Amino acid sequence: SFSVLCRDDEDTFKILVATDIHLGYLEKDPIRGNDTFVTFNEILDHAQKNEVDFILLGGDLFHDNKPSRKTIHSCLESLRKYCMGDRPVQFEILSDQAVNFRYSKFPWVNYQDENLNISIPVFSIHGNHDDPTGADALCALDVISCAGLLNHFGRSTSVEKIDISPILLRKGRTKIALYGLGAIPDERLYRMFVNKQVTMLRPKEDEDSWFNLFVIHQNRSKHGATNYIPEQFLDDFINLVVWGHEHECKIAPVQNEQQRFYVSQPGSSVVTSLSPGEAVKKHIGLLHVKGKNMKMQKIALETVRTFHIEDIVLADHPDLFNPDNPNVTQAMEAFCVEKVELMLDSAERERLGNPRQPEKPLIRLRVDYAGGFEPFSVHRFSQKYMHRVANPKDIIHFFRHREQKEKNVIDLNFGKLSGRPDEGTTLRVEDLVKQYFQTAEKKVQLSLLTERGMGEAVQEFVDKEEKDAIEELVKFQLEKTQKFLRERRTDAEEEKIDEEVRKFRENRKKNTEEEDKEVREAMTRARAHRSEDAVLVAASSDEDSMDMEMIGIDDPSEGLSATLSRGRGRARGRARGAKGQSSTARGSSRRGRGSTSQESSSSSRTYKPVSVPAKNMSITD
């Protein structure tokens, strides 16, 4: 029974389960800036008060891939406050920790480190927001792990094969095999499951006596043909799956009829999009495991900002709104004011029962104005609620319900794309790139690169701020194509070259695994260049200070008129973080003394057209 299972004894594991905490989300917002930090403290406080054995996080602890100093500091402060102490840890680890934590500089669990005093260990996989990037493939969790406050597990770097080795835990007579898989691009992981390239390793001894717990951070709902992970892909020996990434709280375990395991989706602890799924009450879970039995106890979060959302379809109220009436806009606005006031009353009643809840609620009114209506000024409407709601600028969301078209062709016009997509639809960078080239005219189609590779490079550029990603992909694929043409000994005639390039590109498109390798290799080169650039910038800044001393200038700003390329480029770079520099000035500040802007541009990594007489041209030219 539940009471027996929840009773504290030497055989019962108590685990606090949470996912998608998104520390640092809207941290610069004057109203909502501290929401994530306050709720994280509440989660850790529940763990401490319930004297849990450990905390299990399902990814996206951080909202940004490169969290701010404030976010990192706040996270360390909370973990140190709640997770360190003298209370002894009651379970032991039986597996090889050098395998479980092999990517850590300290490959053992933090509570067994003799230099640390940990009372509540935290185990976490990474999500898609805080995944490893850069030349060293580090993520924010690795920083927290290096500080000894968290155990980062479930990381996989191979694109050919994934072996998930569990952390084996024992408390009394209860044994848990904890499996984790950090976020991987859904299409790639889907393909690896289909190709039987994902293996969950099982303990050799008494494999049926273990409670198998799996933490994953992927799309659970279908966003495309292969842009999600179907539950039936997972092994049927699992007892419970904790599913991160999906923000709607469905924490009560639901059994998968086919595989017989249970799935718990804790959801996020902060509202990051004003959509219906986020309006569901937020919870974390207190999981009790004894032998092979489990019970998930829901704990409502009290510090989460209340969120109310409603939809209005104007065409459903012909008695109130007539598009031909000259005063219809005023009638619409008055109707929306009435709706928002009712939502505010409801939010206030909810808050009265919970003093820990933030004062200003989040309000969203989605208005379908299809049927000949015109939207009114959202800016003017928002002025009425500046001091009453947490999101005054986007209370109203106007949209037109699209009727199903007969044809299946996607009409994508980038000029007509609204600034904000409809709720419930997430526009991904790589999808936009793919759709653009699918619908583009022939003259702007890609002839050398593939849409997929280009999409991934643009995504790295946008999401991970890898500024060399696109350039490196172009260079890498250009080199591969040139090598292919040289090996084929193709004649230097345009038609023949074009035909060979087309064949080579088609072969690459079919071989998705090879293309994955190419993209990863190009991204690695981009990260390596970033590291080199950082070294060069550091070196040039040392040169700058030496130059200033040699010239006898105490204040760099006094040297502005000294020389155009060196004085202006460098002094401004130091004064304003190089925001105003042109690319050529940036090149000169990096690459050598006294070089003119013309010289520096040729020394940077940009291509210069090569003029070679036609009869002497080689394939590479």
Task: Tell me the catalytic residues.
Answer: 129
Under a CB-based contact definition with an 8 Å cutoff, are residues 68 and 27 in contact?
yes
Nearest to 217 by CA among 102, 130, 298, 139: 130
Strand-pairing partners, residue 262, are 240, 255
Coil, helix or strand at residue 215:
strand
Distance from the Cα of residue 616 to its chain's centroid:
50
3-class secondary structure per residue, 572-612: HHHHHCCCCCCHHHHHHHHCCCCCCHHHHHHHCCCCCCCCC
Strand-pairing partners, residue 250, are 265
The per-residue DSSP string of 440-491 comes to S-GGGS-SSS-HHHHHHHHHHHHHS--TTHHHHHHHHHHHHHHHHHHHHT--
Under a CB-based contact definition with an 8 Å cutoff, are residues 34 and 282 in contact?
no
What gap in Å lies between CA 153 and CA 103, rounded to an integer?
8
Total residues found in the chain within this entry:
621
Phi, psi of 167 (to 5 degrees): -85, 120
Strands of 262-265's sheet, edge to edge? Answer: 92-93, 167-171, 174-181, 211-217, 240-244, 262-265, 250-255
Q: What is the DSSP letter of 287?
A: E
The per-residue DSSP string of 311-354 comes to EEEGGG-TTT--TTSTTHHHHHHHHHHHHHHHHHHHHHHHHHT-
Q: Which helix (H) or strand (E) holds 44?
A: helix 35-49
The amino acid at 255: Q
Q: Which two tokens stand for residue 541?
A: 């800044």
Sequence-separated (6 or more) residues with CB below 8 Å from residue 504:
481, 484, 485
Strand-pairing partners, residue 311, are 366
Taking CA 463 as the corner, what is the angle to CA 460 and CA 467, rounded to the nearest 5 degrees? 50
The amino acid at 115: N
What gap in Å lies between CA 121 and CA 144, rounded to an integer?
12
Name the H helices within 147-272: 186-194
Q: Which two tokens stand for residue 18?
A: 């949470």
Alpha carbon separation from 388 to 309, 340, 355 (Å, rounded): 16, 11, 17
What gap in Å lies between CA 560 and CA 575, rounded to an integer?
11
Q: Which two tokens stand for residue 135?
A: 């030349």
Alpha carbon separation from 366 to 310, 328, 398, 401 (Å, rounded): 6, 18, 6, 11
What gap in Å lies between CA 611 and CA 621, rounded to an integer?
9
